[in-house]
Amino acid sequence: MAKTVIKQVQDSTIQELDLEVEEVIRLGRYSKGGRRPMKVKMRSQVAVEEIMARKGKLADDVDHKEIWIKRDMNLEEMEKEKVLRS
């Protein structure tokens, strides 16, 4: 699923960002019929930046409209974001 989403985000056939996926981990506990987030580890920071720059393409795609991409944050960054949201 992660590679499918990355292929949707990448810039046509020029890039092959889905080949940069190193590891995919499901987070949270399994519950029947539930959804769990995935953590995708990439081989290069350049691939991460390309995906983050083009993640807006998912909003136009009907099949992947409910999927969102967010970069991993440390505790300090999460607290700053929480303050900004409130």
Provide mean pLDDT across the span 71-76: 87
Strand partners, 55: none
**Residue 13: pLDDT over 60:** no
Instruction: Report pLDDT for 10.
Output: 78
Instruction: Report pLDDT for 14.
Output: 61
**Residue 65: pLDDT over 80:** no
Name 19's Cβ contacts closer than 8 Å, sequence gap at least 6. none
Provide mean pLDDT across the span 57-69: 80
Average model confidence (pLDDT) for the chain?
84
Q: Are 40 and 18 in contact (CB under 8 A)?
A: no
Provide mean pLDDT across the span 33-59: 86
